[in-house]
Amino acid sequence: MNRVIHFEIPFDDGERATTFYREAFGWHLNSMPNYQYTLVTTTATDDQGRPSEPGGINGGMLSRQGPITAPVLTIEVDSIDEAAATIEKLGGKLAIGRQPVGTMGFSAYFHDTEGNLIGLWETA
């Protein structure tokens, strides 16, 4: 079973948004300027940065742009290419194709049959 492993929250003002989530919920935020991305830690992590609590999910924040205009859930899959083929067969549409994320893995985004934008993650 593929599971939800990540979330993303878009923002219009990065400083305002990170201050809000840090102060409202006590989340730890780590800016990654090279990726124009902020990592969001909402739960304890192991030495590889993965949530150490069952069901825990961490995420990220990024500038609102392109198809990412509302919060996104990301699902881990064995193969983005295979998942994309199944998604399109079932009526979904690829929004952003498979792209590398450093040496960690690959991401992609699709619209489901209801118009929701959902992320995909494939570990390298």
Q: What is the pLDDT of residue 25?
A: 96
Q: What is the pLDDT of residue 48?
A: 82
Q: What is the pLDDT of residue 50?
A: 86
Q: What is the pLDDT of residue 80?
A: 98
State whether 34 and 90 are in the same domain.
Answer: no
The two tokens of residue 18 are: 């990170």
Closest CA to 30 of 68, 4, 61: 61
State whether 60 and 90 are in the same domain.
Answer: no
Strand, coil or helix: 78: coil
Parts of the chain with a pLDDT under 50? none
Whole-model pTM: value is 0.90
Q: Residue 1: which CATH number?
A: 3.10.180.10
The domain total for the chain is 2
Q: What is the pLDDT of residue 91?
A: 97
Q: What is the pLDDT of residue 34?
A: 87
3-state secondary structure 14-68: HHHHHHHHHHHHCCEEEEEHHHCEEEEECCCECCCCCECCCCCCEEEEEECECCE
State whether 43 and 93 are in the same domain.
Answer: no
